[in-house]
């Protein structure tokens, strides 16, 4: 946003003038009807010590404005009043009772505190952020599928913790840019606010560290470390499913960070409400801020990504070839990049120019490579990883419900994704015979029709296998 970032106004200014300045920016950023409905009725009351008190018609007004225009107001206040600026809403003439009106509302809802320094300790400079500096906004291509997620990400990077996008929850299929986008936020914040403590980690790392800390009797240290962050980015939060103790601890960390307006950023393969096995209180918190999805890229976006990538490799590839790749590799961006890299590899390994023929051959390799690389053991390992089951147990006589189900799903996917015979598949699962495999196949297929969760789980495992093998 093109707002003045200098502290331009002195504390003794007339509230009317301050509010007028605010309105100018607000008006430029909203449709006129919205502006007239929600902002014209507001009256400035006082301005003292960087606190602007304004009067609104009723409580609903506050809630509406806070829910829909908080980001804008935060920025406006910051640009007009400067660091430490605050806005207080007061209903009608009840100026003195401003806080008692919101008995059961958190004060933060009525008091927008922009003093970013308050309560923040000086950051340790040596906190390892784990960020990959290559993931930036600059090289993140904007497309229809990621528009909202990207816009929100940029807004968060400008004002971490104080936009209403907290937590910021990005979800979508594999290889669609979730990790890239959330790391771009982290990198941008690190660049803009070098003193902020930013950390990125996968849910798996978080879980492993937590388990280690239990063993080392250092759970407090572990949790205090994360509670001291300004920006916490956790990738693939769906892997907390089924890990109740880790969920409990994460819940505490979440609350502390959120209360102190620290930014929380999460990614997941599905929206919060579909995270079966995640505690309800976490699911509800995941929905507190902004949930945005990333969708597979359309043709134009795929072209733009290919062009950008090839340029970053310093090579020129004809549009004809890029179009061919973009038309044939459609489901995810990681595959798209993989194809380009393989094309380059093919060209340099064989000392050939990048020709249309070579591109065709490479695309074909990628498509056929998929079916040959996927084998039964690989399928079993992905199924076990996703369902949190020990791989060996699939080969044992174990009849525990979750193990039996994992075994059946692994058999089902082996039949679907490979050309191996029922007999061979049975042999991989502890020497079961072919009728067991048929039974498993039919049973999973039937249950998938009846049970949405199961269908989604199986489909997501399938996608994962296909992408990993891609």
Indicate whether 179 belongs to the interface with ligand ADP (CB under 6 A).
yes
455 token code pair? 């269908």
51, 155, 174, 440: which one contacts ligand ADP (CB under 6 A)? 174
Q: Could you tell me how many residues of this chain bind ligand ADP (CB under 6 A)?
A: 15
In whole angstroms, give the CA distance from residue 29 to residue 22.
Answer: 11
The number of beta carbons lying within 10 Å of the beta carbon of residue 90 is 21
136's contact among Mg ion, ligand ADP, none, with CB below 5 to 8 A by partner kind, is none
Q: What is the DSSP letter of 125?
A: T
154 token code pair? 């940029």
Complex with Mg ion: residue 179 or 347, whichever CB lies closer = 179
Complex with Mg ion: residue 21 or 269, whichever CB lies closer = 269
Min CB(35)–Mg ion separation in Å: 39
Distance of alpha carbon 110 from the chain centroid: 28
176 token code pair? 């669609």
Complex with ligand ADP: residue 329 or 405, whichever CB lies closer = 329
392 token code pair? 């060996």
CB burial readout 128-156, b (16+ within 10 A) else e: ebebeeebebeebbebebbeebbebbbbb
Min CB(426)–Mg ion separation in Å: 34
The DSSP element (H or E) to which 419 belongs, if any, is none
In whole angstroms, give the CA distance from residue 323 to residue 321.
Answer: 5
Complex with ligand ADP: residue 82 or 177, whichever CB lies closer = 177
Q: What is the DSSP letter of 140?
A: S
Complex with ligand ADP: residue 305 or 465, whichever CB lies closer = 305
Min CB(230)–Mg ion separation in Å: 22
**Checking DSSP bridges between strand 51-56 and strand 43-48, what pairing results, if any?**
antiparallel
175, 289, 426, 470: which one contacts ligand ADP (CB under 6 A)? 175
146's contact among ligand ADP, Mg ion, none, with CB below 5 to 8 A by partner kind, is ligand ADP
50, 178, 196, 432: which one contacts ligand ADP (CB under 6 A)? 178
361's contact among Mg ion, ligand ADP, none, with CB below 5 to 8 A by partner kind, is none
With contacts defined by CB under 6 A, name the span among 51-59, 137-145, 276-284, 452-460 that binds ligand ADP. 137-145
19, 39, 69, 140: which one contacts ligand ADP (CB under 6 A)? 140
Backbone angles phi, psi at 300, to 5 degrees: -60, -40
> Please, are residues 323 and 303 in contact by the beta-carbon 8 Å criterion?
yes
The DSSP element (H or E) to which 460 belongs, if any, is helix 452-469
371 token code pair? 């079916």
140's contact among ligand ADP, Mg ion, none, with CB below 5 to 8 A by partner kind, is ligand ADP
With contacts defined by CB under 6 A, name the span among 47-55, 102-110, 140-148, 344-352 that binds ligand ADP. 140-148
Complex with ligand ADP: residue 199 or 303, whichever CB lies closer = 303
Site string for Mg ion, 170-209 (x = CB under 5 A): --------xx------------------------------
Min CB(82)–ligand ADP separation in Å: 35
Complex with Mg ion: residue 266 or 410, whichever CB lies closer = 266
In whole angstroms, give the CA distance from residue 34 to residue 40.
Answer: 9
465's contact among ligand ADP, Mg ion, none, with CB below 5 to 8 A by partner kind, is none
Complex with ligand ADP: residue 303 or 305, whichever CB lies closer = 305
Min CB(1)–Mg ion separation in Å: 29
Complex with Mg ion: residue 178 or 432, whichever CB lies closer = 178
- 441 Ramachandran zone, left/alpha/beta (phi>0; psi -120 to 50): alpha
18 token code pair? 């301050």
Number of H helices, E strands in the chain: 18, 9
The DSSP element (H or E) to which 163 belongs, if any, is none
- Asked if the bond preceding 117 is cis, omega within 30° of 0, the reply is no
Within residues 298-357, the interface with ligand ADP by CB under 6 A covers: 305, 333-334, 337
116, 180, 432, 462: which one contacts ligand ADP (CB under 6 A)? 180
In whole angstroms, give the CA distance from residue 384 to residue 404.
Answer: 11
In the bound complex, which residue of the shown chain has the CB atom lying closest to Mg ion?
Answer: 179
Complex with ligand ADP: residue 132 or 223, whichever CB lies closer = 132
110, burial (CB in 10 Å: exposed 0-12, middle 13-18, buried 19+)? buried
Give contact residues for Mg ion (rule: CB under 5 A): 178-179
Give contact residues for ligand ADP (rule: CB under 6 A): 139-141, 146, 174-180, 305, 333-334, 337
């Amino acid at each position: 946003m093109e707002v003045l970032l200098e502290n331009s106004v002195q504390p003794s200014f007339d509230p009317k003038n301050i509010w007028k300045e605010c309105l100018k920016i607000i008006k430029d950023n909203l449709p006129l009807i919205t502006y007239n409905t929600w902002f014209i009725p507001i009256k400035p009351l006082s301005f003292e010590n960087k606190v602007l008190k304004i009067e609104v018609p009723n409580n609903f007004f506050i809630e509406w404005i806070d829910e829909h225009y908080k980001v804008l107001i935060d920025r406006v206040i910051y640009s007009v009043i400067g660091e430490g600026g605050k806005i207080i809403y007061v209903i009608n003439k009840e100026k003195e009772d401003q806080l008692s009106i919101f008995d059961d509302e958190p004060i933060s809802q009525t008091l927008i505190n922009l003093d970013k320094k308050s309560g923040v300790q000086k950051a340790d400079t040596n906190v390892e952020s784990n960020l990959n500096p290559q993931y930036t906004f600059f090289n993140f291509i904007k497309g229809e599928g990621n528009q909202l997620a990207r816009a929100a990400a940029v807004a968060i990077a400008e004002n971490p913790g104080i936009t209403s996008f907290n937590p910021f929850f990005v979800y979508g299929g594999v290889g669609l840019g979730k990790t890239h986008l959330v790391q771009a936020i982290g990198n941008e914040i690190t660049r803009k606010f070098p003193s902020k403590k930013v950390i990125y980690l996968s849910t798996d790392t978080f879980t492993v560290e937590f388990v280690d800390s239990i063993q080392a009797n250092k759970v407090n240290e572990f949790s205090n470390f994360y509670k001291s962050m300004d920006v916490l980015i956790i990738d693939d939060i769906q892997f907390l499913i089924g890990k109740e103790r880790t969920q409990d601890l994460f819940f505490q960390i979440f609350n502390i960070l959120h209360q102190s307006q620290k930014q929380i950023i999460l990614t997941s393969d599905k929206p919060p409400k579909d995270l079966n096995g995640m505690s309800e209180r976490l699911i509800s918190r995941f929905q507190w801020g902004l949930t945005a999805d990333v969708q597979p890229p359309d043709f134009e976006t795929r072209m733009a990504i290919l062009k950008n990538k090839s340029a970053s490799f310093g090579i020129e590839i004809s549009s004809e070839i890029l179009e061919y790749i973009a038309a044939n590799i459609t489901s995810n961006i990681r595959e798209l990049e993989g194809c380009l890299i393989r094309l380059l590899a093919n060209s340099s390994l064989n000392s050939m120019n990048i020709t249309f023929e070579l591109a065709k051959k490479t695309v074909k390799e990628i498509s056929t490579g998929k079916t040959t690389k996927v084998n039964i053991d690989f399928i079993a390992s992905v199924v076990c990883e996703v369902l949190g089951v020990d791989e060996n147990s699939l080969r044992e006589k174990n009849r525990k419900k979750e193990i039996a189900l994992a075994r059946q799903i692994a058999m089902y996917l082996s039949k679907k994704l490979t050309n191996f015979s029922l007999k061979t598949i049975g042999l991989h699962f502890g020497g079961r015979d072919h009728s067991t495999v048929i039974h498993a196949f039919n049973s999973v297929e039937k249950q998938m029709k009846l049970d949405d969760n199961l269908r989604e789980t199986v489909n997501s495992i399938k996608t994962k296998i296909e992408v990993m093998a891609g």
